A and B are shown apart, each in its own frame.
Chain A
Amino acid sequence: MLTYVLRRFLVAIPTLWGVATVVFIMARLLPGDPARVIAGVLATQGDVDRIRRQMGLDQPLPVQYLDFLGSLLRLDLGRSAHTNAPVLEEIGSRLPYTIELAFVALVVAVAIGILAGVTAAVRRNSKTDLIISSLSVFGISMPVYWLGLMLIIVFAVGLHALPAAGADQPTSIILPALTLALFSVGLIARMTRSSMLEVLGQDYIRTARAMGLGSGSVIFRHALRNALLPIITVIGLQVGSLLGGAVLTETIFAWPGVGRLLIDSIFFRDYPVVQGLVLMFGATFILVNLLVDLLYAYVDPRIRYS
């Protein structure tokens, strides 16, 4: 197991390197001259050249690339071209908000999703199943944008019950987390339902029932545990869509997380911050995938990595 974990970590390094290279290339393929943007149009050519030198943009691409990789190894992501603060500091001040939002959304999504999926599976083809299945499709198909605005209109403008935007009240997180969770709720519920249906048809469930075990025990201890594998995969993948969804959700709800920072940075051609963020997103994906793989082994004793 330990060697497996180690090996996976080692494999993650070239993957990250690949991400870094793609990020580096993409940033340079974007139209527009960042030095010009930073300097402003009133600036003289001398100012622009000075900024270009400071940013190392006057160097040949291979040199820029090596510099970039070198700084990465030192965990130096450079300074924001827009605010002049270190990129790590920029990301660091925003990251806790996104982690909080994604975590709450994920907890909500997993709790509601699994419960709804199990209920739908157990009461297959009933009215409850129909309602849950329809709501799941609704959740998956609703654009985050539209849903977020609807929630604001109902709960903030209409009922005056919750804050519409911002992050400075304890209740501020409710609407953005709900918006972000809803897409995942739908997916998790559907996956749970189909996986559970498969398991519930197995002989050992019938045996368990025949032995007189309570239905709660059968469903949660025997069925759900065996149905978990595909569900965990979906949840793992959700971390990705939560990060992606955070970009939109954070914009609508004025949540000061990294998703919005990414949008702003792209807008300002802030290469260093965009690079830093995309790398961070990439690293998160790789890490989550690794965790999901490790969880498999924990959940399903048949899977033993060697």
Chain B
Amino acid sequence: MRTKLLALAVVGGLALAACGNGTTGTPTGGSKQGDTLRIAIGVDPDTMDPMRQTTTTIQNIVQMVVETMVKIDTSGKVQPALATAWQTSSDGLTWTFTLRSGVKFSDGQPFNAAAVKANFDRVLDPASTCPLCGPMRGVKSVDVVDDTHVKLNLAKPIAPMLGLLTEVTFGIVAPASIQKGGSTYSDQEKPIGTGPYTLAERVKGDHVTLQRHDGYWGTKPNYKSQKFLIVPEAASREALVRAGQADVILLPPVSDLPALQRDSTVKVLLAPGDRTIFMAFNTQDSQQTLLQKPEVRQALNYAINKDQIIKSVLFGAASPMDAPMASTLFGYCKVGSYPYDVSKAKSMLQAAGASNLTINLVSPQGRYIQDFQAAQVIANDLTAVGVKVNGPRTMDWPSYLGTINVAPAKASVDMHLLGWAPGYLDASQAMVQFQSTQWPPAGLATSYYQNPEVDQLLAKANSESDQSQRATDYCTASKQIWKDAPWLFLWVQRFPIVYSSKVTGVQSIPNESFYTMYASPA
């Protein structure tokens, strides 16, 4: 979890953002009832307010209490939740949602269009603290059509609207608790939602307990309560599940994955994720101008033995990238691979006049799974094709960001390792890395990649309301980006979850989220 949180914290609001998994769904576990499911996580919640929360794991917890209009299922697809149907006007400027009827908040109040409006008014209030609201700011106003219909009026089209609505940021809490001027308007520490659980207790730094909401409209969970133990140290979380003192843990020490996989008392779920790990080239490099050539960057992509690194350095907790984004995103298409080929890399470098390439390379340490260790092997692989590598150097995260997240003229390194997770499972969120408008300091596109064709395609796709055309545009852009190789394409990180074999139905959502809603005793 720490890695996760670390990974999330500053790479940006975008990376911070988590997708909302819905709070309803088909029961996935057995039908046995249980008392308490104990889940050890690494982060201590800063807030339980869905509007203010930005850390995926905590959002996962809040989502069991506060439901969203639409949700993502375990395969990453958008599904109805509090909204059962929706329509967009042809100009993309209004969205009308049909709401589920007969739903009640856990305080007994009815869920209806007025509740939706009250929530949108709150999160979009300029005075509210809503770190992830940015993309939703295009919503001008919200109209109550009738009790079960609500209309969102937009200033300009928001193509990934549904993806945004899966985020718990836009979850619906009981309107009585967010009356303007009330004490819980700006900060909800005990949100009341329509979800299958209610927030029963929170002891800072120690635990958060959820209690089953028996009036829940959907399928009721099997566990009477779910208790989240806050355990920052990965090795301690592993000890807890091995000692039978926790049923589920997130993020064990990766080096123990093989041992855990051999242990019959626990099960290991290497959940598919959405975080791409890569080495960004400085494609505008003025010290090492050879890196401005796509052929050189392609050659270096062939020089890295990704499969071997995943196996022996990451202990299997990743899968190689085959596109500039994770396969779990809307708009993904498989575009290819750079298979490990030393002689090809060498000859390509020679042909490009880069046989005496010197590169300085930096990597964070402890932010992504085995980041610095992987960077060392990568440096080694680069050396093997004749590149002189200075590094990997590492530094603390703020200094690291301060080094890489600068305008091109101030860039001081040639390659840097970074992870990028989209805010929600939509290509638009991954592609900000390849838009020239997103160069630092405006954004976090730290490879300073620029291809007018790609810029144009992405701009079009980002506002396209025809979803299949959007997907096509992202796919075309992906192919071009893959060829231009602004990154050393590495892998998509997996999200390891370990659980006791006495429990079944522990699942994940492919955005580094756990899904224990319908777990049950085995």
Residues of A within 8 A of B (CB): 30-32, 37, 39-44, 82-84, 90, 93-94, 97, 149, 152-153, 156-157, 160, 163-168, 251-254, 256-257, 260-261, 263-264, 267-269
Cβ–Cβ < 8 Å partners of B396 in chain A: 31
Nearest Cβ in chain B — how far from A236, in angstroms?
Answer: 28
For B10, the closest partner residue in chain A by CB is: A37
Q: Is the pair A94, B204 in contact by a Cβ cutoff of 8 Å? A: yes
The answer to whether B239 and A149 touch across the interface, beta carbons within 8 angstroms, is yes
Question: Can you name 21 A-B pairs with beta carbons within 8 Å?
Answer: A39-B131, A40-B12, A41-B444, A42-B13, A42-B14, A42-B134, A44-B134, A82-B46, A164-B240, A165-B40, A165-B236, A165-B239, A168-B203, A252-B235, A254-B230, A254-B232, A256-B203, A267-B6, A267-B9, A268-B9, A268-B46
Flag B230-248 by CB within 8 Å of A: 1 or 0 each. Answer: 1111011101101111000
Chain A interface SS verdict (over half): loop
- A84 adjacent to B239 (CB under 8 Å): no
Known: A40-B54, A157-B242, A260-B205. A252 touches B236 (CB 8 A): yes
| Given A32-B402, A90-B204, A149-B236, 14 extra CB contacts under 8 A | A32-B401, A40-B12, A40-B13, A41-B12, A42-B17, A44-B134, A94-B205, A152-B235, A152-B239, A160-B244, A164-B236, A165-B231, A165-B245, A267-B6
Check if A43 sits within 8 Å of B399, measured CB to CB: no
**Chain A residues whose CB sits within 8 angstroms of the CB of B401 once the complex forms:** 32
A32-B401, A156-B243, A264-B44 known; A257 vs B207 contact (CB < 8 Å): no
A149 to B, closest residue via Cβ: B235
Chain A residues within 8 Å of B239, by CB? 149, 152-153, 156-157, 164-165
Q: Please name all residues of chain B whose beta carbon is closer than 8 Å to the beta carbon of A268 when the two chains form the complex.
A: 9, 46
A32 touches B398 (CB 8 A): yes
State which size class the interface on B falls in: 35 or more
Contact yes or no, B398 A41, CB < 8 A: no
Tell me if B206 counts as interface (CB < 8 A to partner A). yes
Contacts of A168 in B (CB 8 A): 203, 206-207
Q: A83-B47, A264-B44 are in contact. Are A93 and B204 (CB under 8 A)?
A: yes
- A32-B402, A42-B14 known; A157 and B243 CB under 8 Å? yes
Docked complex Cα distance between A156 and B237 (Å): 12
Residues of B contacting A30 with CB < 8 Å? 398
Q: Roughly how many angstroms separate A153 CA and B240 CA in the complex, as a whole number?
A: 10
**With the chains together, A97 CA to B230 CA distance in Å?**
15
Q: Is there an interface contact between B231 and A42, defined as CB atoms closer than 8 Å?
A: no
Residues of B within 8 A of A156 (CB): 239-240, 243, 245
Complex-state Cα separation, A39 to B11, whole angstroms: 13
| Contact yes or no, B232 A256, CB < 8 A | no
With an 8 A cutoff between CB atoms, is B461 at the interface?
Answer: no
Known: A42-B134, A254-B236. A165 touches B229 (CB 8 A): yes
B12 (CB) vs chain A CBs: closest residue? A41
Q: A40-B54, A253-B236, A256-B230 are in contact. Are A166 and B444 (CB under 8 A)?
A: no
Chain B residues in 8 Å Cβ range of A163: 245
Mask for B336-368, Cβ within 8 A of A = 1, else 0? 000000000000000000000000000000000
